[in-house]
């Protein structure tokens, strides 16, 4: 679905006279292959290049070097740009800054309107996508009166209405409270399971990652770790060296193990930890 081959992206900084002063490599030789229907989480500390990578998947940025294919289409080609944006929808961090409509349903209809979908079908799409994120009863509300989590779900509905094959979420929960975070993640998981939409979730909250099929860890523009959540979180020391935390249950299990309790590696949830601890005695 999404493939990258030694992708490079460089920011150039200019001084006041317009001379190049500095070149920062935000993404450095990244290769990846995301399969259809996957739930992939991309982890990384601030400035690790994860957002820049995400913007490539939607053709908002085009690579300085290497190639990015979305659904088999090269994002560098000008004529592919709208198809790429339609097949890989994007949800951003700040819910206020990505809602365009003054009424919830109008905002959800914005994408289909841009694509030139006939009026009758827009209404059908709006209804089904609001239903998919469980926001149908707020359809006539003003987005200003919704909570952060609800706004973010509206934004997701706006992308779903474009019938994408893949949704890229760029830290969708960074500005939300724990409740809103749970709402959004539950919605995303449901979309992945029920609608079989490929999900790429960029985050730095570890708790959101444990449900992913695959985790990619980035640091300084490179992919440094790849694997299932269990594989990744069993390497607590390595994660710490990239300034990343592990989920609380995993950390506790890790500390217990270091103190001599015989526990297996890669415990992710509290339930698993409880079960393993009960088995010990």
Partner 1 sequence: MIRDITLGQYYPADSILHKLDPRVKLVTTISFLVALFLVNSWVGYVVATIFLVSVIRLSKVPFPFMVRGLKAIFLILMITVVFNLFLTPGDRVLVHFWKLQITDKGLRTAIFMAIRLVYLIVGSSVMTLTTTPNDLTDGMERLLGPLKKLHVPVHEVAMMMSIALRFIPILLEETDKIMKAQIARGADFESGNLLQKAKSLVPLLVPLFISAFRRANDLAMAMEARCYRGGEGRTKMKPLVYARRDYLAYGTVMIFLAVIIAVRIVL
| 122 binding partner 1? (CB under 8 A) | yes
Contact region with partner 1 (CB under 8 A), list: 32-40, 140-148, 234-242, 271-279? 140-148
Question: Please, what is the angle between helix 178-194 and helix 119-132, to 10°?
Answer: 120
Nearest to 222 by CA among 12, 43, 13: 43
Phi/psi zone of residue 106: left (φ > 0), alpha (ψ -120 to 50 degrees), beta? alpha
- For residue 73 the two structure tokens come to 């289409």
Interface residue with partner 1 among 1, 32, 68, 117 (CB under 8 A) is 117
Name the minimum Å distance from CB 97 to partner 1.
4
Contact region with partner 1 (CB under 8 A), list: 26-34, 88-96, 175-183, 270-278? 88-96
| 115 binding partner 1? (CB under 8 A) | yes
Name the minimum Å distance from CB 36 to partner 1.
21
Name the minimum Å distance from CB 142 to partner 1.
8
3-class SS of residue 197: coil
| 11 binding partner 1? (CB under 8 A) | no
For partner 1, how many residues bind (rule: CB under 8 A)? Answer: 39
In 192-277 the beta strands, taken as DSSP E runs, fall at: 198-203, 214-219, 222-227
3-class SS of residue 36: coil
Binding mask 148-177 for partner 1 (x = CB under 8 A): ----------xx--x---------------
3-class SS of residue 65: strand
Contact region with partner 1 (CB under 8 A), list: 5-13, 14-22, 94-102, 226-234? 94-102
Strand 65-70's sheet: what is its strand order? 20-34, 2-14, 65-70, 73-74
Contact region with partner 1 (CB under 8 A), list: 20-28, 106-114, 172-180, 272-280? 106-114
Contact indicator for 56, 62 with CB cutoff of 8 Å: yes
In the chain the beta strands, taken as DSSP E runs, fall at: 2-14, 20-34, 39-44, 65-70, 73-74, 88-91, 166-170, 198-203, 214-219, 222-227
State which residue, 112 or 229, has the beta carbon closest to partner 1. 112
d(CA 223, CA 8): 12
Name the minimum Å distance from CB 128 to partner 1.
14
| 124 binding partner 1? (CB under 8 A) | no
The footprint of partner 1 (CB under 8 A) covers: 58, 60, 82, 85-86, 89-90, 92, 94, 96-103, 105-106, 109-119, 122-123, 126, 143-145, 158-159, 162
């Amino acid at each position: 679905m999404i493939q990258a081959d030694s992708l490079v992206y460089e920011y150039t900084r200019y001084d006041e006279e317009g001379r190049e002063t500095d070149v920062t490599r935000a993404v450095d030789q990244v290769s990846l292959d995301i399969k259809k229907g996957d739930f992939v989480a991309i982890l990384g500390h601030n400035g690790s290049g994860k957002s820049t990578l995400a913007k490539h998947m939607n053709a908002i940025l085009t690579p300085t070097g290497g190639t990015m294919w979305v659904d088999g289409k090269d994002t560098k080609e000008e004529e592919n740009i709208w198809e790429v944006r339609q097949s890989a929808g994007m949800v951003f961090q700040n819910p206020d800054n990505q809602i365009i409509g003054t009424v919830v349903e109008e905002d959800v209809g914005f994408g289909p309107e841009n694509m030139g979908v006939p009026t009758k079908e827009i209404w059908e799409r709006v209804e089904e996508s609001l239903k998919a994120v469980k926001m149908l009863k707020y359809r006539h509300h003003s987005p200003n009166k919704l909570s952060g989590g609800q706004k973010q779900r509206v934004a997701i509905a706006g992308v779903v209405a474009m019938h994408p094959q893949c949704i890229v979420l760029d830290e969708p929960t960074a500005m939300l409270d724990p409740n809103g975070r749970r709402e959004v993640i539950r919605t995303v998981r449901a979309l992945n399971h029920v609608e079989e939409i490929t999900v790429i979730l960029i985050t730095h909250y570890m708790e959101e990652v444990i449900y992913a099929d695959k985790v990619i860890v980035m640091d300084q523009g490179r992919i440094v770790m790849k694997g299932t959540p269990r594989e990744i979180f069993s390497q607590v020391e390595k994660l710490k060296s990239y300034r990343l935390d592990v989920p609380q249950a995993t950390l506790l299990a890790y500390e217990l193990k270091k103190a001599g309790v015989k526990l297996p590696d890669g415990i992710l949830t509290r339930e698993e930890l409880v079960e393993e601890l009960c088995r010990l005695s």
